[in-house]
């Protein structure tokens, strides 16, 4: 993929992810009181404003403030910068790889913005489940990260499959 096309595709996905993520989080912060759950479709879908100071499923939220800053802001910021640098410099990436890595980076940037602007917390508000089986509370950035990771996983599994 040519450098201009790769960077244009990367920027399109990154800006779209960060824009959608930040717009939905701003709406949630403005309209939904914290910790109040609104249930829809027989409680399959919930809107629930939460501030998450940890990572996925609040892992690491009990770390000290400086440790959370080092891990979730500094280390993640460095990893995101490395990922974007990889996307810009790696010449032989297929479009699907650019999209997948850009989704991961876009989601990471969306959550990093929250950590920087909101005292280390990330605004989460989506929850899915049936009965007692529920996901953790998540956001649009988390969806982008998981979608990108899923794309890379499927691509890797297909590449590892022996030719018949």
d(CA 141, CA 124): 9
Cα–Cα separations (whole angstroms), residue 119 to 14, 85, 91, 116, 127: 23, 27, 38, 6, 23
142 is catalytic: yes
124 is catalytic: yes
d(CA 33, CA 18): 23
Q: Could you tell me the strand order of the sheet in which 45-52 lies? A: 37-40, 45-52, 122-130, 133-134
Q: Which residues contact 163 (CB under 8 A, 6 or more apart)?
A: none
Residues labelled catalytic: 124, 142
């Amino acid at each position: 993929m040519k450098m201009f096309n790769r960077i244009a595709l990367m920027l399109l996905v990154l800006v779209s992810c960060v824009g959608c993520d930040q717009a939905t989080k701003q709406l949630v912060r403005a309209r939904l009181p914290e910790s109040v759950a609104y249930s829809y479709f027989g409680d399959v879908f919930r809107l629930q404003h939460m501030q998450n100071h940890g990572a996925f499923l609040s892992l690491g939220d009990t770390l000290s403030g400086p440790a959370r800053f080092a891990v979730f802001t500094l280390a993640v910021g460095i990893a995101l910068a490395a990922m974007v640098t990889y996307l810009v410099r790696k010449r032989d990436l297929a479009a699907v790889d650019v999209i997948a890595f850009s989704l991961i980076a876009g989601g990471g940037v969306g959550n990093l913005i929250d950590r920087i602007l909101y005292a280390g917390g990330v605004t989460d508000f989506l929850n899915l489940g049936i009965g007692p089986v529920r996901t953790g509370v998540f956001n649009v950035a988390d969806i982008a990260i998981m979608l990108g990771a899923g794309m890379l996983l499927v691509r890797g599994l297909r590449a590892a499959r022996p030719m018949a």
